[in-house]
Amino acid sequence: MKSIRSFVACSAILSLAQATWAQSASPSSAEATRLSGFSVAASATERSWEKKFQDGIVADNLRQSMQHLSARPHHVGSPYDKENAEWMLAKFKDWGFDAHIETFQVLFPTPKERVVELMEPTHFRAKLQEPSVADDPTSSQIAEQLPTYNAYSIDGDVTAPLVYVNYGLREDYEQLDRMGISVKGAIVIARYGEAWRGIKPKVAGEHGAIGCIIYSDPKDDGFFNGDDYPKGGWRRDHDEMTRP
């Protein structure tokens, strides 16, 4: 009986200790809802304001705004870019903000002539122009579209052999070196993706190439990964081009 009582007493003490530890380890409900960097009281105020903000988001307003902003090509320095800035300024002022437009002078080159041409074994000249898409009325606005090119590329007119360099990353050139293939004096053709496109001509130049063509491989786009536009979010598997 004594051993049983001792066991019961020890069990009761252990249970009490576990309960005490659990109470001390578990935060209070108020503490558990505290936002990082906020006190408990300030967290409640912050959550209240966040809910008011979220409740004020209307999907139709977002859709209408995006349609307005993207109605015409609006690259930097374009007429519609200025119209968009003025439209947003008016919106901010309507909402009670002390807003104004600041003007900055930036270097933004655009090409006067672009030619990509295969000379042999057969002759081919790239169109460098996307076809319009029936579901996208803005795709036919050719007069205001920014040309397809790689911004800040230097002027040049080069003719040279073509060398495929996969994604045009440093490890791709290392693999070419192991295979005994040099790009010195050549034009390289690289797949779009896996790195910022500005890196590709830079690394190509470091290895002696005199030109760089970047293309979208079907394996990296809608042909392989899923439905393309307008059924899905992937680019179409043909005639799609990127801009600066």
pLDDT digits (tens, 9 = 90+) for 46-82: 999 999 989 888 999 999 999 999 999 888 889 999 9
* Helix ranges restricted to H, the chain: 2-25, 29-32, 40-55, 59-69, 79-94, 170-178, 199-206, 222-225
CA–CA separation, 24 and 29 (whole Å): 13
Nearest to 213 by CA among 204, 221, 225, 226: 204
Q: What pLDDT was estimated at residue 30? A: 63
Q: Using alpha carbons only, what angle is made at residue 55 by residues 51 and 59, rounded to the nearest 5 degrees?
A: 140
Burial 52-88 (b: 16+ CB within 10 A, else e): eeeeeeeeeeeeeeeeeeeebbbeeeeebeeebeeee
Q: Is the pLDDT at 113 greater than 60, yes or no?
A: yes
* Of the listed ranges 43-47, 80-84, 88-92, 145-149, the one predicted with least confidence: 145-149
Ranked by mean pLDDT, the top range of 6-20, 140-154, 175-189 is 175-189
SS3 state at 31: helix
At 101, the pLDDT band (50, 70, 90 cuts) reads very high
Q: Using alpha carbons only, what angle is made at residue 94 by residues 89 and 98, rounded to the nearest 5 degrees?
A: 60
At 133, the pLDDT band (50, 70, 90 cuts) reads confident
The residue type found at 148 is: T
CA–CA separation, 152 and 141 (whole Å): 24
CA–CA separation, 193 and 164 (whole Å): 15
Mean pLDDT of the chain: 83
Total Cβ atoms within 10 A of residue 242? 13
Written out in words, the top-level CATH class of the domain with range 117-225 is alpha beta
* Of the listed ranges 36-45, 97-106, 125-134, 176-185, the one predicted with least confidence: 125-134
Find residue 162's DSSP bridge partners: 187
The residue type found at 6 is: S
At 26, the pLDDT band (50, 70, 90 cuts) reads low
At 14, the pLDDT band (50, 70, 90 cuts) reads very low
Q: What pLDDT was estimated at residue 4? A: 44
202-232 confidence digits (pLDDT tens): 999 999 999 999 988 878 776 777 787 778 7
DSSP string, 108-157: ----S----EE-SSS-EE----PPPBTTBGGGG-GGGSPPSS-TTPPP--
Q: What pLDDT was estimated at residue 128? A: 84
CA–CA separation, 61 and 65 (whole Å): 6
